[in-house]
A and B are shown apart, each in its own frame.
Chain A
Amino acid sequence: MTEPLQQMEAASKLLELKNIDLSFGGVKAISNISFDVMEGEVRAIIGPNGAGKSSMLNVINGFYHPQQGEIWFDGKQRHSMKPYQIAYQGIARTFQNIALFKGMSVLDNIMTGRFTHMRKNMLWQALWKGPAEQEEIENREFVEHIIDFLEIQAIRKTPVGRLPYGLQKRVELGRALAAQPKMLLLDEPMAGMSVEEKEDMCRFILDVNDTFGTTIVLIEHDMGVVMDIADRVVVLDYGRKIGDGTPDIVRNDQTVIDAYLGVSH
């Protein structure tokens, strides 16, 4: 094992997945996968199409419930939960196909990310006086910091549907950040972007990791990006784990090379 890995052993595990099995009817999407995510690291999940990467993210944030296996998050074993409960636990995500409210402004979209931090009930919200108003002001202030952080001041009030793709991705990241997550799941944050947009996005992801200390798990196809920004990489193929380690280790792993270049199975 290399130096950084040993150091990481010392850091605490934020998430640990043990022997996860997930199948849809007769189709086995994930079989017997275990890996962990350290606090504060950037962890990438890579693999060819259909390898089970998105399923893995969906297991982590509770969209799918694995038939077998254990999920440990923040020191506690997690039992079957609804996605919103998991959101309350501190996991936020973005989606492969942008899932924003197209007709709402950038500001309002990011505000929806704050829902886990709104405590006042519907009656207060409807009256919008006193505590509810105060709460809204506090949350708005937080959202404004995110807008500043992502440099999207100029589109604050623009409906999301009118924005180009790259900016929509950035807004989605903003919404996930608004939840102040412990862990951020990014499903192909750079798919379909121009080189310049990718560079911007990389910078934002690293800045998030740097500034807020957020742990990041991301799926990405662009190998250059993954090798540049990930601390460790886990490689999936046909629902099985075929590699795990630092970018350098993974890059030189024969099984991984075979999976990417295509060897008959």
Chain B
Amino acid sequence: MASSAQKQSYPAPGLDTFPKLLQHNARMFTNKDAMREKEFGIWQSWTWSQVADEVERFALGLQANGVKAGDSVLIVGGNRPRTYWTMCAVQSLGAVPVPTYHDSVAEEMQFVIEHSEARVIVAEDQEQVDKILEVEDRCPAVELVIFDDPRGMKGYDSEVIEIKDFVTVQAQGEAVRAKQPNQYQDLVSKGKGEDISIILYTSGTTGKPKGVVLTYDNTLLTGYHGGLMEGLTENEEILAYLPVAWIGDHIFSYAQSYSMGFCVNCPESTETVAADMREIGPTYYFAPPRVFESLLTSVQIRMEDAAPIKRKMFKYFMQVAKTTGIKLLEKKSVGIIDRVKYALGNVLVYAPLKDALGMGRVRLAYTAGEAIGGEIFDFYRSLGINIKQLYGQTESSVFITVQPNGEVYPDTVGTPSPGVELKIADNGEVIYRSSGAFHSYFKNPEATADTKTPEGWVHTGDAGFMASNGHLRIIDRAKDVGAFSNGKMFAPKYIENKLKFFPHIQEAVTFGDGRDDCMAFINIDLGAVGNWAERNNIAYASYQELAAHPEVNKMVAQSVAEVNESLLDDEMLSHSQISRFLILHKELDADDGELTRTKKVKRKLINERYKILIDALYDGKTQCFIETEVAFEDGRIGKITGDISIHDVKTFNPVAQAS
């Protein structure tokens, strides 16, 4: 218990807020790049001292527009330098930045605007401003919207809300600074470590999002000590491409960048991320498992299309990498012949491949959020990319457990991070206490009390156990874990992850709680299956048509059967074999409310919306007609209808014995 009472140290004495860190960095790394953005085809860069100047002028400008300590300022934008500068500017006034997902629809945004009581909103561009104006009459508190990109904003006007350009506000700030040069310094020095630094709204797989209130001591200390443990330095390069409203980006691209002094690179647009990553060559990289999966899938697709000699070379050397690469990465002993083979493979295959993936310089890569397939994990590690799993959540400022170097296993998520105490509650739930543990849920004391005990223990809501090697293993969301009618455990996510490890399966939803058997919905991966269809001369016009193709159904049935076979290995889960499945006629989509913005399945909603299909699965029907509403990108609503065929799958012995 002593460890939690003992407070962790700041990067240097007195550096307890990000605005203070920024001033420190401007002195320490004056001419070192702090931020880059690709614009007009060229990487534009800002040094730490330039960033400090931009932030100072914007902060004073915000103050001139009435932002004061304790206010919330909503930030809605992609990964652009000014988005990050706004956070620091708001913090230096003692106000609280509230970043929100820039791809959320107007209604979702309205909830956050209202709940956070923001009077000022800093929006990236016309698209975001349009969304705000759409709900302006329902958000009477909003007084001022500041936009970053002036494109299309000429002549924008609103009767209730004032609209200003980012540079205009900065100019106001500049005028203030000319008159009162010490004003900003005074503001910054008022900040303290225990102040609220940010409110992040969790996407929420159930109900309305909750605002997680974090202090500087949460984010700054956790980010800093996480970085120290991994030996990060000011020379890292990171690509900021994940939503700024997500805790991961906030820690990696903001908290750690400020506390370590390394450079954050913003891509040109969301479509150019892969090319931009290749140009930058990040040394520190985070991606959710699905990104690693889709990269591997695209590599496999392209190798299938490559010339036979290249294909053979790839296959041979990937085999070599599999046996040698991971051992080399973990600094275990490897024979001389294997070393030579690996070195040759590095010249011919691994180095060019890593370069193509933009991972040529990656020293440390993290993945988290979902389980990652062993195959996928090993593929990257065998190439010499040090990819590790971590386990965390918004409420913990990311870090709960991390896999230590040399102790990386695909099925566990590692040992507790610095300053984290971990326990398994009596009901099997993982609970922790740490310096990163959140302050409270904004305006929601009931939820805070439900999640955080007076002693500071936080309930994660995940069911897990400590494996024999001292590493944490997560089974599933505690509330999702159910039981079959015979009382055996049903852990849907565990089965779904096994399904999703197949490149042609994009998403899966399984059912079984309170039932006799396990059933599954499948979404195929349009990229992988589309390519397969092309190579096999199968014509299709849409996702729906491809999903309904008998050959595709046969292929998926094969994969489901393989999952069933692998479930035999685990005594606790062998009953969970999938007896019947169907391929959905549409992709599950966040715009239709079926996934969260971070692409997690919303089970309850799917249970209601597709009840007719679930019933059909359990009724033993072989066909089912369905009509679903879909939302298009421009907000219109359309309908998709279709007949879906349902298939039986081969199950394996223990089920027969049990039933």
Contact = CB atoms under 8 A, between A and B. Distances in A.
Interface in A160-214: 196, 199, 203, 207, 210-211
A151 B154 contact: no
B279 to A, nearest CB: 12
A258 interface: no
Given A148-B39, A199-B634, A207 B268 contact: no
Contacts of A151: 269
* Majority secondary structure of chain B interface residues (helix, strand, loop or mixed): loop
A85 interface: no
Nearest to A147: B41
Contact of A154 (B42, B269, B634): B269
B151 interface: yes
Contact of B41 (A144, A207, A211): A144
B271 A207 contact: no
Contacts of B269: 151, 153-154
A222 interface: no
28 contacts: A140-B41, A141-B40, A144-B40, A144-B41, A145-B40, A147-B40, A147-B41, A148-B39, A148-B40, A149-B151, A151-B269, A153-B41, A153-B269, A153-B271, A153-B272, A154-B268, A154-B269, A154-B271, A154-B275, A156-B41, A196-B633, A196-B634, A199-B634, A207-B151, A210-B152, A210-B154, A211-B151, A211-B154
Given A148-B40, A207-B152, 16 more contacts: A144-B40, A144-B41, A144-B42, A145-B40, A147-B40, A148-B39, A153-B41, A153-B269, A153-B271, A154-B269, A154-B271, A154-B275, A156-B41, A203-B152, A207-B151, A211-B151
Contacts of A149: 151
B74 to A, nearest CB: 25
B277 to A, nearest CB: 13
A140 B272 CA distance: 19
Nearest to A146: B40
Interface string B235-268: 0000000000000000000000000000000001
Interface residues of B, number: 14
Nearest to A141: B40
Interface string B34-49: 0000011110000000
A145 B42 CA distance: 11
Contacts of A207: 151-152
Contacts of B152: 203, 207, 210-211
Interface in A118-163: 140-141, 144-145, 147-149, 151, 153-154, 156
Contacts of A148: 39-40
A153 B275 CA distance: 11
A144 B269 CA distance: 14
A153 B274 CA distance: 12
A156 B269 CA distance: 12
B155 to A, nearest CB: 8
B574 to A, nearest CB: 47
A252 B39 CA distance: 47
A158 B152 CA distance: 27
Contacts of B268: 153-154
A210 B154 CA distance: 8
Interface centre among A140, A144, A145, A153 (most CB of B within 10 A): A153
Nearest to B275: A154
A154 B271 CA distance: 6
Nearest to A210: B154
Interface in A59-94: none
Interface centre among A141, A151, A154, A210 (most CB of B within 10 A): A154
A221 B141 CA distance: 46
Contact of B272 (A141, A154, A196): A154
A106 to B, nearest CB: 11
> Which 7 pairs, one residue from A and one from B, show the smallest C-beta to C-beta distance?
A154-B271, A144-B40, A144-B41, A153-B268, A154-B272, A153-B269, A153-B272
Nearest to A195: B634
B529 to A, nearest CB: 21
A148 B152 CA distance: 13
Contacts of A196: 633-634
Contacts of A154: 268-269, 271-272, 275
Contacts of B633: 196
A94 B326 CA distance: 56
